[in-house]
Structure 1
């Protein structure tokens, strides 16, 4: 669910590396969580919930320039999964019938081509309206109308112990459902962005990123985001972005194409009990300043490394994550008062909040849509050349355009075009010429021990 998660080097792996920091903090949850009524009556039955929301769940596919869109050759994986890359595939869900879709930002960040598969049948090119790496959320737009939109609930009253279910396409298996329960809400991760998350034990795997988390009433209460794992695979701890946060970010992206946050020009870390003792504090609350940006608001106000920001605007001492949230929520130009602990003595500092740098979609120039052989760069291998275990046939050397979108890659062997067998490049060319301009072509492809037809759609 790799900047988040699931891909190697993305946030799932990062979170696994941060596990040594110790247990993350969960805030107490008052009010509705104290009422256990209806907790068991319908908790384990998600049949109606899935039936209600499944039409709104989509699959998001993205291609980054210069990458090979190929999957791993794991034994037992179906041919369809082998011909698609989990690193460029995620889930999403429709939030507006006019074609607005939420998904994970890490999947579309830097993508040259992004498309959305609706209903498992119709593929639409998608534009990235905006994205936000802090919450790993992206808002997409496709040129479709009257789409089934997801029923949106609220994450504010979601309680630990409630049953929830995830709907998405792990490893490319579309419309897959996994269920579990809420472990904590909200949960703030050590070394994280300070955004609240929903922790569950729902199985999330590569491809689940961006899909909906449903409550027992069939409402979307979160967007599935990541696992807490070094490998990116499910290990029993999963996280989802609360839907209240997701919809607020989506509204801002739809309105302006960017998310505006405040910042004070200081890098901070959370206090551990031992650090609190070292700085003369009774409890590990507040934000410990590690570095101050030159000419930033913190530097101008006289803050320095080793100061501890205890609270904002005269409040009681705050958890680290709350301080991050309060600063981010402040409007640029607004003044705030920081209660600071310096050399075991309190002081108050006033500063003006600056605007954080927003995330903007990378605009990559589109390639020429004219393509030869559907974007396939091919080489022939005769029986004499093979001379061993490598079979004769038409081998794929590289892909671009339509072939790459379809998942073809280096080493694939082309056996047929629709129902016409081919063993040489000139035979493949004749078979392609016999098809109608602009129509989808089915190529019979062998990869390793698996052979299957792959649809290749021209742009």
Structure 2
């Protein structure tokens, strides 16, 4: 039953999205946005909306070696990337009561171990059902039932100026709410993936990725993706994947574990008014080719940098988003006829669609083997060794397993196990022997000027 409900929600949001297909969905000229503004109030009270969505929002913890990546897509260029990281956190939200969760692909793409914190209390192991780099979306699955499910809305007619809010765990602060308004819908990033995004001024920070963006009615209208910043700090420009796209991709990932798209081996950007003028066009419609892949369908058909694809299987100039969708939706092996503008003159090009390479996630496996000292690699420092620079104690040299999951790192000082003070490795081992296998351990840790207890829970089957 939950799966059928999930499917019905997707069908509904997809049908609503089709009303916008083939248009620019420009807020400035959108009659629906004007009508909506006439009915709305001057703001939004998100108290009820937060209460409605908060139970379905989760925190995601991924352990593993991350890698830089930039997705490549049809008629676009991948923009998202992340630095290698051993431990990353993100947000997510439940879309099916039987344990299916949406989150950001960049948070889990190279993870060896993933866990999800639900209800703010239960941490459950999670597996990757499938992921898609182009949209930066991943579907996770946890072994649970009767989970609270997010209320899914539609992003098709989300208007600039409309109030929205985000729920997530920025910097690990769970169930944090930030609010703002829609800046543009749709928005295409320069040199980006070609996927239509929602631009807002809602504050997003590390850990916010994957959380829901919802409107004043408490309906999820997007999955938060990233903030645009040259400094790494929040600058008032954030981007969200529309929920209509997210749910459609999620259905395909749940069904086959991959997203099948057509591609022609060309990278493009959306035309601006100035670029249209430079290429001799009256309107900023179509997709401007910036690069053609050697040996790809576009190259074989004679397309080149500077060509403007005005339409696919039609003569009328169409919106950039429409061209993206038409090519991506084309079956590999099928033929497309493209209306192209070259050197201020129209021409027609026929080509055969190829298949985009699918994103196949690393299969996570449960931890096994013997875990020594909760995954802590420690070094003792005596007063004679440390002098005036470091106090005596147990210093963390490296972490793995339970310690890594808990966020311990190089330079942390272990002061106690539960209520037992430790001054050396022998004291630590003795304290751990008195604690039952699989029980949560509280380590008193000093990091810089902060001293705090940190809970560590070994996975089942691991010994200390």
What secondary structure sits across from 1:88 in the alignment?
strand
Matches of 1:66 and 1:368 in 2, distance apart?
21
1:39 matched to which residue of 2? 40
Q: For 1:360-379, what aligned pairs fall within 5 Å after superposition?
A: 360-363=360-363, 368-379=368-379
1:427 matched to which residue of 2? 427
Contact 1:26 1:187 in 2 (8 A): no
Contact 1:395 1:412 in 2 (8 A): yes
1:165 shift after superposition: 0.9
Change (3 A) 1:399 1:87: closer
1:17 matched to which residue of 2? none
Matches of 1:421 and 1:407 in 2, distance apart?
21
**The 10-residue stretch of structure 1 (319-328 or 355-364) with the greater mean CA deviation from structure 2:** 319-328
**The 10-residue stretch of structure 1 (367-376 or 415-424) with the greater mean CA deviation from structure 2:** 367-376
Unaligned stretches of 5+ residues in structure 1:
1-24, 68-84
RMSD: 2.2
1:183 paired with 2:191, answer no
Q: For 1:7-156, what aligned pairs fall within 5 Å after superposition?
A: 27-28=26-27, 30-35=30-35, 36-40=37-41, 43-65=43-65, 88-156=88-156
1:157 shift after superposition: 2.2
Change (3 A) 1:33 1:270: closer
Matches of 1:290 and 1:65 in 2, distance apart?
33
Matches of 1:359 and 1:396 in 2, distance apart?
36
1:204 paired with 2:194, answer no
Deviation string, structure 1 residues 342-387 (Cα, Å, up to 9, x no partner): 3332211122211111111123666544211111111111112121
**The 10-residue stretch of structure 1 (446-455 or 279-288) with the greater mean CA deviation from structure 2:** 279-288
Matches of 1:66 and 1:133 in 2, distance apart?
14
Q: For 1:229-268, what aligned pairs fall within 5 Å after superposition?
A: 229-268=229-268
Matches of 1:262 and 1:129 in 2, distance apart?
22
Contact 1:86 1:206 in 2 (8 A): no
Contact 1:87 1:206 in 2 (8 A): no
Contact 1:167 1:211 in 2 (8 A): yes
Matches of 1:122 and 1:369 in 2, distance apart?
24
What secondary structure sits across from 1:50 in the alignment?
helix
1:312 paired with 2:312, answer yes
Unaligned stretches of 5+ residues in structure 2:
1-23, 68-84, 460-464
What secondary structure sits across from 2:144 in the alignment?
coil
Matches of 1:279 and 1:155 in 2, distance apart?
33
Deviation string, structure 1 residues 366-418 (Cα, Å, up to 9, x no partner): 65442111111111111121211311011111111111001111111111111
1:442 shift after superposition: 0.6
Deviation string, structure 1 residues 249-276 (Cα, Å, up to 9, x no partner): 1111100111111101223344455554
Contact 2:194 2:269 in 1 (8 A): no
1:205 shift after superposition: 1.3
Matches of 1:408 and 1:124 in 2, distance apart?
20
Deviation string, structure 1 residues 96-130 (Cα, Å, up to 9, x no partner): 11111111111111111111111221111110111
TM-score scaled to structure 2, two decimals? Answer: 0.85
Change (3 A) 1:200 1:65: closer
1:440 matched to which residue of 2? 440
1:295 shift after superposition: 3.5
Matches of 2:332 and 2:199 in 1, distance apart?
31
What secondary structure sits across from 2:423 in the alignment?
coil
Change (3 A) 1:241 1:87: farther
Deviation string, structure 1 residues 294-322 (Cα, Å, up to 9, x no partner): 43222332323443222111242234343
1:31 shift after superposition: 4.0
What secondary structure sits across from 1:120 in the alignment?
coil
1:6 matched to which residue of 2? none
Matches of 2:155 and 2:65 in 1, distance apart?
37
1:289 matched to which residue of 2? 289
2:226 matched to which residue of 1? 226
Contact 1:26 1:188 in 2 (8 A): no
1:66 shift after superposition: 8.5
What secondary structure sits across from 2:53 in the alignment?
helix
Contact 2:128 2:363 in 1 (8 A): no
Report the number of matched residues.
417
Matches of 1:289 and 1:185 in 2, distance apart?
23
Matches of 2:269 and 2:38 in 1, distance apart?
40
Contact 1:194 1:325 in 2 (8 A): no
Contact 1:225 1:239 in 2 (8 A): yes
TM-score scaled to structure 1, two decimals? Answer: 0.86
1:159 shift after superposition: 1.5
1:178 shift after superposition: 1.1
**The 10-residue stretch of structure 1 (187-196 or 420-429) with the greater mean CA deviation from structure 2:** 187-196
Contact 1:92 1:212 in 2 (8 A): yes
2:381 matched to which residue of 1? 381
Contact 1:60 1:114 in 2 (8 A): yes
